[in-house]
Amino acid sequence: MSRNLRPTFYEFFAGGGMARLGLGEGWDCLFANDFDPVKAAAYRANFSDAEAHFRQGDVWKLEAADLPGRADLAWASSPCQDFSLAGARAGLAGGRSSAFFGFWRLMQALNQEGRAPGVIVIENVVGLLTSHGGADFTALCEALAAEGYHFGALEMDAARFTPQSRPRVFVVAVRQPPGAALRGEGVFHSRAVREAAARLPRPLQDRWVWWRLEAPPARNTDLAALLETDEAVPWRSARQTEALAAQMSPLHRQRLEAAVAAQGRVVGAAYRRIRVEAGVRVQRAEVRLDGLAGCLRTPAGGSSKQLVVVAGPAGLRSRLITPREGARLMGLPETYALPASAHQALHVIGDGVAVPVVDWLARGLLEPLLAEGSAVLAAE
């Protein structure tokens, strides 16, 4: 990257453009792609220049010639279902996550043309680190190494930035070996990252980088602070709330009652999950009272929809989280245009990357990496 130019990027599996929002106004998007028509419509609704660079369609149908120029960064938030701890975890052989190889085929072609991005970021669920006993992560690292990249991984939880538990792994790869100022172990090198690195074969460990990224300031908001007022949202019926309470385990009910006794009014988040108890599958409602929402998901079914619960002297009330509340939990601005359908809006949000996480990664690591690369080029 020239020190006189704004950094440029390609965004694959772009969804509603949340990685672009995190990178910020100081970056220029050269190309963006997503297959999903709902997400594509959201992207177009939020970026006035979308017609110039956004391509809706299958990544496997793209060619290197479709990608203009030489981007400083390629960002890929490839489909995560096959890596997710909640899914079947078919791994890189799975149909959806194999979309990664559609993206990687383009990176290989760009490399052959001398247009490979200097930096690549691959974002996914933390299950990527352990899928198939670590074999999928090793395969990813092998692909990066074969194209001349050095790489490392960071596990970053959106809970450090917004009141949502959303851990994700960010694999950052760079063509030029980074200097000492950008190396160092830190808070984003979780046990899962350390174990994944230790499992790599020696040739891949030789290309591993422990990326230095400082911890952000302590978060100063909780779930209650991002919610609409009680009067502004529809609440579920008393009968529905009673059914939800009946699905709570005795332990969860005790925790809720103890919190109400201590605080008077308690705001929490709840999911329905299937648990095996005494060999029997039982649907349970699990409530968290730590000021965080659970990880937002796409609303594929009723049990995957997150609820807000409010308990106090007047009893227990419950409702579904609204799309705008979900957008706030993802760090999206109030001006972000959501689909009119709540189902579609939650679909876009639940498959996105938290904007403040991308912002922190960009400011703390990606931009310094590009600046370091520019300084090396200037000295040659």
Let me know whether 165 and 295 are in one domain: no
The whole-angstrom separation of Cα 301 and Cα 324 is 20
How many C-beta atoms surround the C-beta of residue 245 within 10 A? 19
pLDDT band at residue 375, thresholds of 50, 70 and 90? Answer: very low
In a domain, 343, yes or no: no
Let me know whether 291 and 375 are in one domain: no
In a domain, 260, yes or no: yes
Report the pLDDT averaged over residues 214-229.
96
In a domain, 162, yes or no: yes
Q: 275, 299, 321 — which closes off a domain?
A: 321
Predicted local distance difference test score (pLDDT) of residue 148: 97
Let me know whether 262 and 190 are in one domain: no
Instruction: Note the pLDDT tens digit of each residue in 276-323.
Output: 888 889 889 999 999 999 999 888 755 568 999 999 988 999 999 999
Give me the amino acid identity at 67: L
Q: N- to C-terminal Cα distance for the chain? A: 14
Contacts of residue 380, defined as CB under 8 A and 6 or more positions apart, other chains included, come to none
- Work out the mean pLDDT of the chain and round it to a whole number: 91
Let me know whether 210 and 72 are in one domain: yes
In a domain, 357, yes or no: yes
Which strand (E) or helix (H) includes residue 276? strand 266-277
3-state SS string for the chain? CCCCCCCEEEEECCCCCHHHHHHCCCCEEEEEEECCHHHHHHHHHHCCCHHHHEEECCHHHCCHHHCCCCCCEEEECCCCCCCCCCCCCCHHHCCCCCHHHHHHHHHHHHHHCCCCCCEEEEEEEHHHHCHHHHHHHHHHHHHHHHCCCEEEEEEEEHHHCCCECCEEEEEEEECCCCCHHHECCCCCCCHHHHHHHHHCCHHHHCCECCECCCCCCCCCCCHHHHCCCHHHCCCCCHHHHHHHHHCECHHHHHHHHHHHHHHCCEEEEEEEEEEEECCEEEEEEEEECCCCECCCCCCCCHHHCCEEEEEECCEEEEEECCHHHHHHHCCCCCCCCCCCCHHHHHHHHHCCCCHHHHHHHHHHHHHHHHHHHHHHHHHC
Q: Are 8 and 73 in contact (CB under 8 A)?
A: yes
Instruction: Note the pLDDT tens digit of each residue in 173-184.
Output: 999 899 999 999
In a domain, 342, yes or no: no
Let me know whether 211 and 233 are in one domain: no
In a domain, 272, yes or no: yes
Let me know whether 168 and 264 are in one domain: no
In a domain, 338, yes or no: no
The whole-angstrom separation of Cα 170 and Cα 158 is 12
Predicted local distance difference test score (pLDDT) of residue 86: 45
CATH number at residue 155: 3.40.50.150
Let me know whether 75 and 208 are in one domain: yes
Let me know whether 192 and 265 are in one domain: no
Chain centroid, CA 320 distance in Å: 22
In a domain, 12, yes or no: yes
Q: 321, 345, 368 — which closes off a domain?
A: 321
Domain residues for 16?
A: 8-217+353-379
Let me know whether 193 and 241 are in one domain: no
Let me know whether 64 and 186 are in one domain: yes
pLDDT band at residue 10, thresholds of 50, 70 and 90? Answer: very high
Of 73-77, 86-90, 138-142, 218-222, the poorest mean pLDDT is in: 86-90
Let me know whether 268 and 316 are in one domain: yes
The whole-angstrom separation of Cα 295 and Cα 309 is 16
Q: Are 211 and 183 in contact (CB under 8 A)?
A: yes
Domain count, the chain: 2
Let me know whether 297 and 373 are in one domain: no
Q: Outline where 7-114 has alpha helix (H).
A: 18-23, 37-46, 50-53, 99-112
Predicted local distance difference test score (pLDDT) of residue 273: 85
- Asked if residue 84 has pLDDT above 60, the reply is no
Q: Which residues of 118-143 are buried (b: 16+ CB within 10 A; e: fewer)?
A: bbbbbbbbbbbbbbeebebbbbbbeb
Chain centroid, CA 258 distance in Å: 33
